[in-house]
Amino acid sequence: MTQGERQNYQWRPNDNSSTTRLRYDLEAEHWYKSFKSAELKHKPSSIRNDFGVIGIIFNLIFSLVTLMVLGLIQLVKRLRA
């Protein structure tokens, strides 16, 4: 096969027959499924993300309440002194 044949895509059928279109459709479907499968492997679970956000919110609320309680304790100590 020459370089010219490769550049003109003569190594793959490029007619408009039903067989060629079916083969290209099957290949495109294969590549699409492979891409989606690889994408899902690297995408974190949405449930894990949801629990992470909920955990951060609870941590923030707990930290603010703790800060307020410690502030009140320090205020009471200074008022008594």
Same domain, 77 and 57: yes
Same domain, 23 and 33: yes
What pLDDT shows up at residue 9?
64
Tally of CA atoms within 13 A in the half-sphere of 16 that contains its CB: 0
Same domain, 49 and 78: yes
Reported pTM = 0.44
Find the domain containing 34 and state its range: 1-43
What pLDDT shows up at residue 70?
97
Number of structural domains found in the chain:
2
Same domain, 36 and 53: no
Residue 52 near residue 45, CB atoms below 8 Å: no
Same domain, 3 and 38: yes
What pLDDT shows up at residue 40?
81
